[in-house]
Chains A and B, each alone.
Chain A
Amino acid sequence: MQMSGAQMVCEAIIAEGVKTVFGYPGGAIMHVYDEIYKQNGFEHILNRHEQASVHAADGYARATGEVGVAMVTSGPGFTNAVTGLATAYMDSIPMVVISGQVPLSLIGTDGFQEIDAVGISRPCTKHNFLVRTLEELPRVLKEAFYIARTGRPGPVLVDVPKDITVDIGEFVYPDSVNIPTYKPTYKGNRRQIEKAVEAIKSAKKPLLYLGGGIVLSNASDLVREFALKTQIPAVETLMARGVLGAKNPLLLGMLGMHGNYSSNMAMSETDLVISFGARFDDRVTGKLSEFAKYADIIHVDIDAANIGKLVDVDYPIVGDITEVVTKMLEQIDDIDTDRYQAWRDILGRYNELHPQSYVDSDEVIKPQWAIERLGELLGEKAIITSDVGQHQMWAAQHYPFDRPRQWINSGGLGTMGFGFPAALGAKRAHPEKTVINITGDGSILMNMQELVTAAEYKIPVINVILNNHFLGMVRQWQTFFYEKRYSETDLSFQPNFKALAEACGGIGYDVSTKEEFDAALKDAIEQDKVCFMNVQTNRFEDVLPMVPSGGALFNMMLPQKVLSNTEAK
């Protein structure tokens, strides 16, 4: 069929089954927007900043596992999108971002709103394209979606010069993709898998180290089955919260810089690390020379470059978690689960010794209480997104995540401002779910313009602002490591959050007691409107346990020991 390049872009989006596109128009992408106006195959949501569009597409992708799509114009539209691309890149999120570009004839002339988008985005995309002819456009679009979702997923940028969107040509959307240089490995090496299973059977203190790759591979059920059959204790990374389910007795908790005591001790004492889709990030390992010092390491990852990058691996398996765990499951029927009983007992005692705890208060809302309360009231029903800071760590520590894709946060890049737009994407994907963004008084301002988007499109996302009047996480480091010199972290000067939400068409709640918290949450859910719940918390709460940066995992700063069960929780 004959059509314009702009129409081809829309047709490809429809052919890929994308229902929602997030974006912001401008000169170079106007022809595409003109076609968006004429079609009804997908909806377009006008965020109020391109960064938010990309985070929203990202949140949509994380909540569904499908490719998220964002659209921006050239120059500043594209540069605003870069943080969104980098965020998705670091967490391997499948996404296609389509950017307008100046006409081919102007490229290289410093034309109005010209910027080298493929140059800038090269290190923060899985791949990118500058479309050079109309003929290649359908193939490029097809490849972009394919590359985004296959192998180790990631964001792909397609930069389309304006004249190509105007030109008319024949459109046939390819059925399949053939990139001779791109063949991801899905099946793990059979022999290696057998060896790994043997190692598991002969280990005494094995530990499942579960990462975000399990979520990306939709392998949580298989991993749960594997844990159940083997009775091997497990730790989750920040990106894997929900994989095993909070109620699973084998789950010790989250490990790493803010991991709980038993998780970090387990990693320090294990004799066999079984890593499924985790990448040994420095926030997880602490001091590398002390990390899992007594253990052999099985590392299953779809990205060969992750294996052996930071730690030496004894059983490298390049492959998709789903494929590899399926094969492992076939070989463990005869496993002796009693073998690990002593190890489970030790870890159980560690957990009794130092459970994940905090000292609650009757005077003021403790941030951890707020999160546990959300968990009690919403539990499995909600999707939780977060920004970056203390609130993010408390959410990861204290919310009882029950399933994968329930917890959406920027782990790799740590992007403040991610949570609210990501929540919009998640809510659009799952309108039936309550979507809560757990955020801080710093982070929320980094994409607060999305109040307007949420109000206009009636996307009722609940922002729970744990307001400590600080850039809390930075303040915590200043307390511990900079002799309490609170350089530029005091946020005593505040907007009126309630009025701000209302000014943009949402609802605001000022919350400073537990009763108010419950009442505001109930009302927010009933009103079904975007809101800010401005929750006053104590100012100087610290995220604990904490492994100081570069320290060994077993050297944790621990919370104040809780004295009695009635006095504190």
Chain B
Amino acid sequence: MANSKNERHVISVIVMNESSVLARVTSLFAGRGYNIETLTVAPIPQSDMSHITIATNGSAKVMEQITKQLHKLIPVYKVIEHEEMVEKEMVLVKFPIAENLSDISALCSAYNGGIVNVGPEMVITMVSDEPTRIKHFIEATQRYNPSEVVRGGVVAIER
């Protein structure tokens, strides 16, 4: 078990909405040497809880420890290690206005997105899709000289 390979995992951590709860979670990762690939957090509607989604990697044993250690934190209500999930990530990409906008638009729609803002000097596109597809999308945009790329981190929901 100890030497099983490092795999990517997504976990959801449901926490009480209180000050420094995010710091507790992230400092646990830092202090125990676990990785954080992405992290997103937002309040859960109509509750006093928040939903933290963390993409991380580790062996089965490490994942078990991460889950248990998170659960030990006092304001943590629930930890879900996702198995069967729908997982999405969002990305914003800015392009110079001089690029081929119809190509860019077509590319975005291939990835469930589109142009969301146009200014005198640039356009901004938004795409949300599975993380691997987001990666492909970003690669594909390279030929249009993107001037800025902002990824959002994953959110996931168990099926």
Contact = CB atoms under 8 A, between A and B. Distances in A.
Interface stretch (B12-20, B35-43, B127-135, B149-157): B12-20
B23 A181 contact: no
Contacts of B72: 303-305
Interface stretch (A119-127, A353-361, A488-496): A119-127
Interface string B48-91: 00000000000001001100110110111100000000000000
Contacts of B71: 304-305
B18 to A, nearest CB: 10
A132 B18 CA distance: 11
A434 B16 CA distance: 47
A406 B20 CA distance: 39
13 contacts: A118-B20, A122-B20, A123-B31, A130-B20, A147-B74, A180-B16, A180-B77, A181-B15, A303-B72, A304-B68, A304-B72, A305-B72, A308-B64
Contacts of B65: 305, 309
A343 to B, nearest CB: 29
B19 A122 contact: no
B1 interface: yes
A122 B74 contact: no
B6 interface: no
Contacts of B19: 130, 132
Contact of A122 (B15, B23, B64): B23
Given A304-B68, A312-B1, A181 B16 contact: yes
Nearest to B75: A181
Interface of A: 118-119, 122-123, 126-127, 130, 132, 147, 179-182, 303-305, 308-309, 312
Interface in B106-129: none
A260 B71 CA distance: 37
B9 interface: no
Contacts of A303: 72
A123 B20 contact: no
Nearest to B16: A181
Given A179-B74, A181-B76, A182-B74, 17 more contacts: A119-B23, A122-B20, A122-B23, A122-B24, A123-B27, A126-B74, A127-B74, A132-B19, A181-B16, A181-B74, A181-B75, A181-B77, A304-B71, A305-B68, A305-B71, A308-B61, A308-B64
A118 B16 CA distance: 17
A303 B16 CA distance: 21
Contacts, number: 37
Nearest to A304: B68
B154 to A, nearest CB: 24
A188 B84 CA distance: 30
Contacts of B16: 180-181
A425 B15 CA distance: 37
A184 B40 CA distance: 28
A305 B69 contact: yes
Interface of B: 1, 15-16, 19-20, 23-24, 27, 31, 61, 64-65, 68-69, 71-72, 74-77
Q: Which 10 A-B pairs have the closest CB atoms?
A: A305-B68, A181-B77, A127-B74, A123-B31, A182-B74, A304-B68, A305-B69, A181-B75, A122-B27, A181-B16
Contacts of B31: 123
A312 B1 CA distance: 8
Contacts of A119: 23
A119 B23 CA distance: 8
A47 to B, nearest CB: 29
Nearest to A180: B77
Contacts of A181: 15-16, 74-77
A372 to B, nearest CB: 41
Contacts of B20: 118, 122, 130
A309 B59 CA distance: 12
Nearest to A309: B65
A181 B72 CA distance: 9
A81 to B, nearest CB: 19
A308 B61 CA distance: 8
B77 to A, nearest CB: 4
A308 B19 CA distance: 32
Contacts of B64: 308
A147 B61 CA distance: 28
Contacts of B75: 181
Nearest to B48: A180
A502 to B, nearest CB: 45
Contacts of A118: 20
Nearest to B32: A123
A126 B24 CA distance: 11
Contacts of A122: 20, 23-24, 27
A132 B69 CA distance: 27
Query: Which residue, of A122, A181, A182, A304, has the highest number of chain B Cβ atoms within 10 A?
Result: A181
A147 B27 CA distance: 20
Nearest to B72: A305
Contacts of B27: 122-123
A119 B20 CA distance: 9
Nearest to B20: A118
B33 to A, nearest CB: 12
A304 B23 CA distance: 22
Contacts of A308: 61, 64
Max chain A Cβ within 10 angstroms of own Cβ: one of B19, B20, B31, B61:
B20
